[in-house]
Amino acid sequence: MSETERERDGESADRTAADGQFGRYGGQYVPEALMPALEELEDAYERYVLENEDGFMDEFERRIRNFGGRPTPLGRADRLSERYDSEIYLKREDLVHGGAHKLNNALGQVLLAKYMGKERIIAETGAGQHGTATAMAAAHLDMPCEIYMGRTDVNRQRPNVFRMRINGAEVNPVDIGRGTLKEAISETMREWSRTVERTHYVIGSVVGPHPFPAMVRDFQAVISEEAREQARAQLGGLPDAVVSCAGGGSNTMGAFHHFVSDESVDLYAVEAGGSSLEVDEEAGVAPNSATLSTGDEGILHGARTTLLQDSHGQIMESHSVSAGLDYSGVGPELAHLVDEGRVTPVTVGDTAALEAFHRLSTDEGIIPALETSHAFGYLHEAFEAGEDLGETVIVNVSGRGDKDLETVIEETEKRGLESAPDMSVFETGGGI
Q: Contact residues for ligand PLP (CB under 6 A)? A: 100, 102, 129, 205, 245-252, 324-325, 369, 371-372, 398-399
Residue number, 145 or 369, with CB nearest to ligand PLP: 369
> Distances from the Cα of 213 to the Cαs of 28, 73, 81, 235, 357, in angstroms?
11, 26, 34, 31, 29
> Distances from the Cα of 212 to the Cαs of 102, 152, 204, in angstroms?
14, 26, 9
- What distance in Å separates the CA atoms of residue 95 and residue 190, rounded to the nearest whole number? 34
3-state secondary structure of 145: strand
Catalytic position from the list 318, 322, 373, 398: 398
Q: How far is the CB of 399 from ligand PLP (least distance, A)?
A: 2
Tell me if residue 102 is catalytic: yes
Strand blocks (E) in 141-236: 145-150, 170-174, 199-201
Q: How far is the CB of 16 from ligand PLP (least distance, A)?
A: 23
3-class secondary structure per residue, 67-83: CCCCCCCEEECHHHHHH
Catalytic position from the list 91, 102, 182, 403: 102
Tell me if residue 398 is catalytic: yes
Q: How far is the CB of 412 from ligand PLP (least distance, A)?
A: 19
CA angle centred on 175, ends 248 and 207, rounded to 5°: 15
Q: How far is the CB of 9 from ligand PLP (least distance, A)?
A: 27
Q: Where are the alpha helices (DSSP H) in 1-54?
A: 3-17, 35-44
294-330 burial: b if 16+ Cβ within 10 Å, else e? bbeebbbbbbbbbbbbeeeeebbbbbbbbbbbbbbbb
Q: How far is the CB of 142 from ligand PLP (least distance, A)?
A: 25
Residue number, 49 or 292, with CB nearest to ligand PLP: 292
Find, among 191, 203, 173, 176, the residue nearest to 303 by Cα: 203
Residue number, 175 or 402, with CB nearest to ligand PLP: 402
Residue number, 133 or 393, with CB nearest to ligand PLP: 133
The residue number whose beta carbon is nearest to ligand PLP equals: 399
Residue number, 42 or 404, with CB nearest to ligand PLP: 404
Catalytic position from the list 93, 124, 271, 333: 124
Residue number, 199 or 252, with CB nearest to ligand PLP: 252
- What distance in Å separates the CA atoms of residue 136 and residue 127, rounded to the nearest whole number? 16
CA angle centred on 45, ends 48 and 193, rounded to 5°: 130
Q: How far is the CB of 391 from ligand PLP (least distance, A)?
A: 26
Find, among 272, 280, 212, the residue nearest to 398 by Cα: 272
* Spatial contact of 361 and 391, defined as CB atoms under 8 Å apart: no
Residue number, 325 or 335, with CB nearest to ligand PLP: 325
* Distance in angstroms between the alpha carbons of the first and the last residue of the chain: 58
Q: How far is the CB of 247 from ligand PLP (least distance, A)?
A: 3
3-state secondary structure of 175: coil
- What distance in Å separates the CA atoms of residue 384 and residue 155, rounded to the nearest whole number? 39
Active site residues: 102, 124, 398
